[in-house]
Amino acid sequence: MVPFACLTARNIQWPIQWKPASVGVLVISIAMALAGCSSSAVRHEQLSSLPPLQLPDRTLTVQEVAALTATPDLLAIDDEMREFVQRYTSGVSSRRQRLMMLHRAVTGAGALDLQYDALAEGTAIEVFHRGSANCLSYSSLFVALAREAGLDATYQSLDVRPQWTRQGERVMVRLHVNIMVKLPGRNQQYMVDIDPLPTRDITGSRELSDVEAEALYHNNLAMDALANEDIERAWRHGVRALQLSSDEAHFWVNLGAIYRSAGQYRAAENSYLYALKLDRWERSAMNNLVVLYSLEGREQERQKWASRVARYRDTNPYFHAWLGDTAADSGDWRTALEHYEQALDLSPDDSNLLYAVGLIYYQLDQYQQASGYIERAIERATLRSEVDLYEMQLQAVQQRQLADT
């Protein structure tokens, strides 16, 4: 699996639903920092020793990539964009009000009316004049405009809970990028998003530097080129992403996928293994090793990594939650409850899991238990948007309970 830095989320209807509703496009949030896990010197040494890409008519070396693959200024703005910011925020002293007005101007039908397009990569200038963006390119646009408006805006990466195939053996790796705007006083933080995720799918977040965002830009171009079987372009952008941010394990996984497509299996294997040195739980690297060893008929190694994938899967609460979702989708609420109880055994304080169990009890017409689990979810929730959602759901459950008594 090859992860992109963007994801489409489903919007869910209120008041009672199995899948909890998505977070608002602009919500108060709390960001969590994640630490790195390897020294920069080792990573750069690993990068400089990458095997060249073997093309039919020539080889392409790592040293050639920077000259061949330019990195644009994602946050550059032009005079028209400056005038846009002035038009909608000039004279507004409140930073919060400036943020709200800028957000409405970017997304509102009467102003820029920016539209979501999963394939719309680009710089802030390109997005502004094109009128469409994916999550990364939208983030570049909004960060650039917000900074012009005097706001403290940064890129933010959201960790998204994994999803498995129906057989439970392959894992879909999903990444999402949005914007964090920090306002002075009482630690106010606003999360801005063109395509918001359901809160239940968010497992963590961290701030991204501008350079890390540039690396994600190249990573996305690499994966797009790989999908179109343009191996040279994919490799150049994949290497360029690592030159900018060599500590991202999933970049090494993606580079391995490119090497594998080029028939350079040893280079692919080394990339996957190095990703696991950076992150021993890099699930996509494990799955890709299983695929690679299957292709090569290396059954002993394949079984080793397949066993590790299975152990990771069975000890991951989100795997059991995914099984619960699958059962719920077919209306089998008893089985869904069993799987979610297993998930809670592994992560008993997860507010989203508690909330989901409450929803299952509601579907089973067990309103007292439903209320109890939703109340526990409220106690453990960290996002204001989660608390609001859970309280609304709790009120709906309690009203139904009164109606049935």
In sequence order, what are the residues at sequence separation of 6 or more whose Cβ sits closer than 8 angstroms to the Cβ of residue 256? 267, 268, 269, 270, 271, 272, 275, 285, 288
Q: What is the DSSP letter of 199?
A: G
Q: What's the pLDDT at 245?
A: 94
Residue ranges of domains in the chain, CATH in brackets: 1-309 (1.25.40.10), 316-403 (1.25.40.10)
Contact yes or no for 308/286 (Cβ under 8 A) = yes
- Residue 155 sits at φ, ψ, to 5 deg, of -70, 150
Smallest CA-to-CA distance from 207 within 26, 32, 36, 74 is with: 32
Question: Distance (Å, rounded) from C-alpha 251 to C-alpha 211?
Answer: 14
Contact yes or no for 226/234 (Cβ under 8 A) = yes
Residues of the chain where predicted confidence (pLDDT) is lower than 50? 1-39
Q: What's the pLDDT at 47?
A: 83
Q: What is the pLDDT of residues 329-370, one digit of tens each?
A: 999 999 999 999 999 999 999 998 999 999 999 999 999 999
Residue 139 identity:
S
Measure Cα distances from 308 to 266, 276, 284, 311, 328 in Å.
21, 12, 12, 5, 28
Residue 324 identity:
G
Q: What is the DSSP letter of 173?
A: -
Secondary structure of residue 59 in the 3-state scheme: strand
Q: What's the pLDDT at 244?
A: 95
In sequence order, what are the residues at sequence separation of 6 or more whose Cβ sits closer than 8 angstroms to the Cβ of residue 169? 287, 306, 309, 310, 313
Contact yes or no for 144/76 (Cβ under 8 A) = yes
Half-sphere exposure in the Cβ direction for 372 (13 Å, CA):
5
pTM value is: 0.80
| Long-range CB pairs of 310-317, under 8 A, 24+ apart, other chains included | 310/169, 312/281, 312/283, 312/286, 313/164, 313/168, 313/169, 313/171, 315/346, 316/162, 316/346, 317/342, 317/343, 317/344, 317/346, 317/347, 317/350, 317/353
In sequence order, what are the residues at sequence separation of 6 or more whose Cβ sits closer than 8 angstroms to the Cβ of residue 101? 88, 89, 92
Token pair 């129906």 in the structure block, residue: 166
- Residue 178 sits at φ, ψ, to 5 deg, of -145, -160
144 C-beta neighbours (distance < 10 Å), count: 23
Secondary structure of residue 154 in the 3-state scheme: strand
Which residues are registered as beta bridge partners of 206? 157
